[in-house]
Structure 1
Amino acid sequence: MRLLRTYVRPYSGAITLIVLLQLVQTLATLYLPTLNADIIDKGVVKGDAGYILTTGGVMLAVTLAQVACAIGAVYYSARTSMAIGRDLRAAVFDRVQSFSAREVGQFGAPSLITRTTNDVQQVQMLTLMTFTLMVSAPIMCVGGIVMALEQDVQLSALLLAVIPALAAIVVLTVWRMRPVFRRVQEHIDTVNRVLREQIAGIRVIRAFVRDDHERKRFRGANTALMDVSLHAGRLMSVMFPAVMLVVNVSSIAVVWFGGQRIEDNGMQVGAMTAFLSYLMQIMMAIMMATFMFMMVPRAEVCAERVQEVLATDSSVVPPAADTAVSALRRRGHLELSGVEFRYPGAEEPVLKDVSLVARPGEITAVIGSTGSGKSTLLSLVPRLSDATAGTVTVGGVDVRELDPAALGGAVGLVPQKPYLFSGTIASNLRYGRPEATDEELWHALEIAQARDFVESMEGGLDAPIAQGGTNVSGGQRQRLAIARALVRKPDIYLFDDSFSALDYATDARLRAALARETGEATVLIVAQRVSTIRDADRIVVLDEGRVVGTGTHTELMGTNPTYREIVLSQLTEEEAA
């Protein structure tokens, strides 16, 4: 597998050591039956106690060397395979980190988790088994055949029937197992997806009393995984009995024909004992290879899935030459010019010829009906996705030419669905600026109208936050996300419907505090609530991905039917005036 070769190459020195240890161990294993045969034929038959003790001492030394090499081989095999698994997981994680929302949606979060954990683990196990079994198995098999021929050439003719029979069983079973294991991994993806949905949507499930429905849905996915796993298990269960049948029949044949050769004085008892040992070693080598080949189909499928992630390039292409913050000609100036955004394969673009300008010291608002492209527009500024046409400039520089760190420092995004990481309130607030002081954190919380509830929590800034912020309310999550952006102190603030979970009084206090705090920064707000954006310096109206109006609230109420319709759906004529 090309993927495995790429990540094995850095450990060539350790692999060479493993091969040498396995070689010594295998040669020692092959040498022991010959010494045993000598004791039987030369020592026991002739009654030579000295020869028996001397040869026995040699056998003990060989055995100790065999054990020492086996321990060393297993130790370095485990260490190397775990390191390769670590490197693979890190490579997948790094690649996923570079993905835009488009690539993440293409694979799906459950599948990416499965590929990073279960799939990499299967490749890692294959690597371990390769080092511990596949290195010694060919040496054992070839060496066993050579040593068996040395004991008796005529009896070795049995190998001409035994080895092809075993090879046929292995090849046929592996060929049938490969597509089954692909289905196993796909069903693991499905189980992860259903489980993830049920954990994330537990409140909705309880609210609609759909517990039984979700149990049935999970049971269906779980049963499907069990069924396909049983299919793979049945194929595996056939292989071992078939191999053992061939091994046992061949052992009987050796004893039968070997007995006849002894009776005819064609060979000695010790030689037949040694031959039987070599036959068992050959069979064991093939059985080890069989066990290995049983893992290959699943690991191969998993490697292909991991390679698929590593081979996928992000649609957000890094700049050829990073432009630093110092190169920004107009700090805080944001401009979109003729921007279009289209999803791959979509008939119509989400955004069409969108142009707007947001300046420092001003509040620019974007409003429109659901699905008009407001959140998509905002995502183009920090390059969560790239425009398929037109340009987005920050500080007078195209965002596609900016160093990601420079762009991240200039832009602070509060997403529509605020996400908090497991840790503490302080660790979440410092996510964008780790060096921020406690005083700065409290100041940001006060601006975001979050100080009161944080002070009431046990631990204050050190109060624990669960993954996703599930142990705080939606409004508290939004205010903590706003505080996180304030701590960073960017040149441009992007608020993607970030006040939707707040009551009107808190919304008003928060906007008033923000206006004082962000007076010299550029503020771009996307909102559904008219009261949130009516006092903005400039309001941009989107409809079906196009800009259909720009102006102040008063200007648009008199000239823009789309804006007027949105306003009157929320306010009366008197309130809107």
Structure 2
Amino acid sequence: MNVGRAKDATQEDVKALSALPQASPDLMITSFFLNLLSLALPVALLQVYDRIVPNSSMQTLALLVIGVLTALALEALLRIGRSYATGWEGARFEHRMGNASFACLLGADLMAVQRKGSGVLLEEMSALKSVKEYYGGQAATSLLDLPFVFIYLGVTWFLGGPIVLVPLGMLVIFALVAVRSGIRLRKAIEDHQTSNDRKLNFIIEVLSNIHATKAMAMESLMMRRFERLQESCATASFAVAERNAISIAQGAFFSQLTMVLVSTYGALLVMDNRLTIGQLAACTLLSGRSLQPLQRVAGLWTRFQTIHIGRERLRRILSLPVDAAETLPPLPELRGHVVLEQAHFTYGGEDQEVVRGIDLEIRPGECIGIVGANGSGKTTLLSLINGTLRPTRGRVTLDGLDLRAYQPSSYKEQIGTLPQDGQLFKGSILENITMFDPDRRERALQVADDLGLTDVVAALPMGFETMVGDGAYDTLPTGLRQRLAIARALLHEPRVILFDEANSSVDSVGDTYLRAALERLKGRCTMVVVSQRPSLLRMTDRVYQLSMGTLVERVEGAEAPAGGPAGFGARRAQPLRRLI
């Protein structure tokens, strides 16, 4: 599914989640004949006890056995066919919703995704497994079987008269008990999933920082925290298992109790000559059959508590705010004229502004440098320029165009962001540079050569086909991983390059190649270089100091404040005046 279609597509999917499961005509016809054929055995018992045995009719017995075996064979075939149909419907639903939820996740607003956390998002994605059963046809078959309860009760009344009151009364009591158990089970499932979310978030946090955990000998501390989370999760899991076991035991108890009560009451009617042995046998079977559809629906009601919570979780993913709609036009080719007008930015849930009223103009082909202390908002400022973040006030334009009016995919290819900590995906080195597009192979090799990667990668056992990501990720030096991420960012020949201290983990040889590549690009594209290294700042046309959310232009030779490199000082101690 195209990420751009996420908003329109998921609106239909959210409606589908809100609706009752739909049953196809084939499923309804199959269910009808299945329940009809299930009457064969009670009718056969009635004939055997009341007609064949008293009359010693072997010919009738043979015909009856053939008929019953045929009915049982047809019933088995229909059940197999119905299982195949429900399995196929479940697979279709899982495919549709899986694609829709992942497309919505990829197309969602970055801030909305970050607020949730990886663990919660993983749990919400995995909720599809529980929801699939409900919408895939199994719930529909249980509901389709439910009306036949009245047919079984009607046949029981026709054969046994007042004996029908026993299964009827048990059905009512069982339904009330099942509803009450389901409500208690939902609360237990909610508690369990909340505990599981916390545990999963913690595991992801530890694995993401495993090097720091080991380097600082925090294993025992992390283990104690995990033990507390695991204890909470295990307690909640036990509560869910307990409620499930009670529900299953209740179903078995009422089924057996119904058979016992029908047999007891029927025996009294037989001794009173108001019922025959054959009618009693048939009514006993029919009473069990009448309870089965309700037991399946009760089981569905019990599972529905899990399904309901899973459905709400899946709906939350499908309802994530989408970054941009497909109807927005693509951004035309940029020249690289970047303008910030009174740009402000505050992260959601925080009061302090990270960016405060910045005015800045960068003309096409210009190269500016930005310095600042850690946490001063340099990465946030670059994220405003490349459209990843939206200013809470003010405006950011490229070539006079507001990025909010255009498709994100159309302008992110024209803006190359060189991150401080580049991430690699599972695949070969070449696939990571080409972003898994084989048509970009030649361009990728050229960029790799410009960054001095050809000889380094050639020394690896499989060259550019060396696998990275997952366990293999850590076998590559940090500097090499960073240079691969930089090569990927430069693949599209962007019109605007945002350099976010991308050389902080690169060795001196790699830094030389990187600086040479940037110098070749200077004048051909607009560059914003965030760095503390004077060697890079010397190639810029202007240098700015970012402090307390404001931008101040620096001049060479003046005294540098904390957070800025030596050799650059303040031209003035107030925010940069508006240049446009």
- TM-score calculated relative to the size of structure 2: 0.89
Equivalence map 1:357-436=2 (5 Å): 357-431=361-435, 434-436=438-440
Q: Which residue of 2 is the match for residue 453 of structure 1?
A: 456
Q: Does the residue aligned with 1:371 lie in a helix, a strand or coil?
A: coil
**Mapped pair 1:80 → 2:89:** yes
The Cα of 1:232 is off from its aligned counterpart by 1.3
Please name the residue that 1:470 is paired with: 474
Residue 535 of structure 1: aligned partner: 539
* Alignment partner, residue 208 of structure 2: 200
Conserved 8 A contact 1:447-1:517: no
Q: Which amino acid aligns with 1:92?
A: S
Name the residue aligned to 1:106.
115
Q: 1:162 aligns with which of 157, 162, 170?
A: 170
**Which letter does structure 1 place at the counterpart of 2:462?**
G
Give the equivalent residue in structure 2 for 1:282.
290
Are 1:566 and 2:553 matched, yes or no?
Answer: no
Separation in structure 1 between the aligned mates of residue 532 and residue 113 of structure 2, nearest angstrom: 27
Find out whether 1:183 has 2:180 as its counterpart: no
Q: SS of 2:484's equivalent? A: helix
Is 1:49 aligned with 2:58? yes
Aligned to 1:152: 160
Q: Matched residue of 1:435: which SS?
A: helix
- Counterpart of 1:325 (choices 324, 328, 332) is 332
| One-letter amino acid of the structure 2 residue matched with residue 225 of structure 1 | C
Partner of 2:9: none
Which segment drifts farther, 394-403 or 263-272? 394-403
Instruction: Quote the Cα distance in structure 2 between the aligned partners of 1:253 and 1:319.
Output: 64
SS of 2:82's partner is helix
Gaps of at least 5 residues in structure 2 are 1-11, 570-580
Tell me, yes or no, if structure 1 residue 344 matches structure 2 residue 351.
Answer: no
SS, match of residue 154 in structure 1 = helix
Match of 1:173 in 2: 181
Cα drift, residue 258 of structure 1: 1.1
Residue identity in the other structure for 1:459: M
Amino acid of the structure 2 residue aligned with 1:212: S
1:237-276 correspondence to structure 2 within 5 Å: 237-276=245-284
Query: Which residue of structure 2 lines up, in the alignment, with residue 143 of structure 1?
Result: 151
In 1, distance between residues paired with 2:403 and 2:436?
19
3-state SS in 1 of match to 2:499: strand
Q: How many Å separate the matches in 2 of 1:274 and 1:111?
A: 53
**In the superposition, relative to structure 1, how do residues 35 and 45 fare at CA in structure 2: closer, same or farther (>3 Å)?**
same
Preserved CA contact (<8 Å) 1:166 1:246: yes
Cα separation, 2, equivalents of 1:308 and 1:319 = 21
Report the aligned-residue RMSD: 2.6
Deviation at 1:319, TM superposition (A): 7.8
Per the alignment, do residues 172 and 379 of structure 1 end up closer, same or farther by CA in structure 2, a change over 3 Å counting?
same
Deviation digits for residues 10-53 of structure 1, max 9, x if unmatched? 995x7332222122111111343113312321222212222222
* CA displacement at 1:362 relative to structure 2: 2.5
Q: Report the Cα distance in structure 1 between the residues aligned to 2:266 and 2:87, rounded to whole angstroms.
A: 41
Q: Flag the 1:139–1:69 CA change in 2: closer, same or farther, 3 A.
A: farther
Cross-structure match for 1:444: 447
DSSP 3-state at the match of 1:470: helix
Q: Distance in 1 between matches of 2:489 and 2:254?
A: 70
User: Does 2:308 align with 1:300?
Assistant: yes
Counterpart residue number, 1:37: 46
Q: Please, which moves more after superposition, 152-161 or 509-518?
A: 509-518
Hey, what does 1:513 align to over in structure 2?
A: 517
Counterparts in 2 of 1:269 and 1:518: CA distance versus 1, 3 Å: farther
SS in structure 2 of the partner of residue 457 of structure 1: coil
Quote the Cα distance in structure 1 between the aligned partners of 2:240 and 2:531. Answer: 53
**Structure 2 vs 1, CA of residues 142 and 473 (structure 1 numbering), >3 Å: closer, same or farther?**
farther
Q: Any conservation in 2 of the 1:7–1:88 contact (CA below 8 Å)?
A: no
Structure 1 contact 7–87 (Cα < 8 Å) conserved: no
Percent same amino acid at aligned positions?
21
Alignment partner of 1:236 is 2:283: no
Work out the number of aligned pairs and report it.
557
Does 2:218 correspond to 1:210?
Answer: yes
Separation in structure 1 between the aligned mates of residue 540 and residue 276 of structure 2, nearest angstrom: 103
The residue matched to 1:380 in structure 2 has which SS? helix
Letter of the 2:216 counterpart: F
Q: Secondary structure at the match of 1:93?
A: helix
SS at match of 1:550: strand
